[in-house]
Amino acid sequence: MKGYLKGIHPMLKENITELQQHPTPFYLYNLDLLRQTLQKAQQEASKYDFHVHYALKANANSPVLDEVRAVGFGADCVSGNEVKAAIENGFAPEDVVFAGVGKSDEEINYALDQDIFCFNCESSHELEILNELAANKNKVAQIALRINPNVNANTHKYITTGLEENKFGINAWELESVLSLLQKLENIKLIGIHFHIGSQIQDLSVFKNLCTRVNEFQEWFLSHNIELEHINVGGGLGVDYYHPEQQPIPDFEAYFSLFNQFLELRPGQQVHFELGRALVAQCGTLVSKVLYIKKGVNTNFAILDAGMTELIRPALYQSYHKIENLTSSAEEVRYDVVGPICESSDCFGKAVMLPETNRGDLIAIRTAGAYGEVMASQYNLRKKAEAIYL
């Protein structure tokens, strides 16, 4: 089947007969759009010799990882199983970064055995444990200190990670004691610093503020006679959930050029990024079928066979996803589009204008390629939805 630069919607319409044959709900992935997105990101990052690590937490499906690896990106992992998935899907260990505020001993040991590129460490206690486990294996673990820059990402509070009130990273006032500790830890090698301030960031001025803070921390480390080889600025670039056809690929040119303009690098330093949502969100759609139409007092309900078990973002973050009826062309009617789960929060959208909708109509919930399938659950003993690749 053909993919389209304009997005997944024309592909859905063109292949509607075939899609109707698949049991719903299912995740539909446009691999052609994914390739175009990855190639554009690689093209823009390579202008400045930036290194991109794909954040597996956005989507860890093997066909997706195959495309990411093929374009030359590394892997950003936040669990031992993500490290394992990266290795098993062909990512070279020297391209794998392991972050996360709560790495278990088992996870650390596995990553040490794989000789991964870097551990992004988030506390003094973690440094001590990592040093102990590395010593047990007669290894030296390369690490970057994840620093909390206290930069507001201006995004949802659940996906803001760079403020002092968040659980992530080492605070600036802790750095003196951390450096003193590092001098005693013989099985750890400091190679860089790491930042990640949040997700779904669309205001690029936020990243300019991050650059300013990174530059300040660079100066602080230099004042302590520490030259860093690697600067990891994380990810967080958002996507357009409201207009997936108009902007299927984020503005990677503006994003990477901003860091090139405002980061003050030392000779030989390498810059790393951890992009997830920006690379995969638009290539995925959750396709569902209407089970019932229920007439309410103030609204009508379109009850789908997909629920928060297949896409939890609207319930968890009150986030917007564009919703389309693929099989009706009637006059528009207002619906609350909801799922079958026994929770009032199981709602994809309120007051959604759709063509008059009936039982059996096929519904597309767009921009579900990131934090959709990977966050699926079996709540209510639901069966996991299938993934289909076009």
Q: Are 236 and 153 in contact (CB under 8 A)?
A: yes
Encoded tokens for 369: 């390629």
Q: Helix 252-262 crosses helix 205-223 at what angle (to 10 degrees)?
A: 30
The sign one gets for the Cα dihedral 121, 122, 123, 129 is negative
Q: What integer pLDDT is reported at residue 15 of this predicted model?
A: 76
- The structural domains of the chain, ordered by start, are 32-281 (3.20.20.10), 282-389 (2.40.37.10)
Q: Which of 1, 4, 7, 6 is nearest to 369 (CA)?
A: 7
Q: What integer pLDDT is reported at residue 66 of this predicted model?
A: 98
Which residues does the chain have with pLDDT short of 50? 1-8, 152-164
Q: What integer pLDDT is reported at residue 244 of this predicted model?
A: 94
Tens-place pLDDT, residues 45-86: 999 999 999 999 999 999 999 999 999 999 999 999 999 999
Q: Please, which residues have CB within 8 angstroms of residue 25's CB and are 6 or more apart in sequence?
A: 286, 287, 288, 289, 304, 305, 306, 310, 385
The DSSP bridge partners found for residue 349 are 337
State the DSSP code for 271: E
Encoded tokens for 257: 């050029």
Rounded Cα–Cα distance for residues 390 and 316 (Å): 29
Q: What integer pLDDT is reported at residue 9 of this predicted model?
A: 63
Q: What integer pLDDT is reported at residue 12 of this predicted model?
A: 75
Encoded tokens for 275: 């992009």
Tens-place pLDDT, residues 271-305: 999 999 999 999 999 999 999 999 877 889 999 99
Rounded Cα–Cα distance for residues 231 and 262 (Å): 13
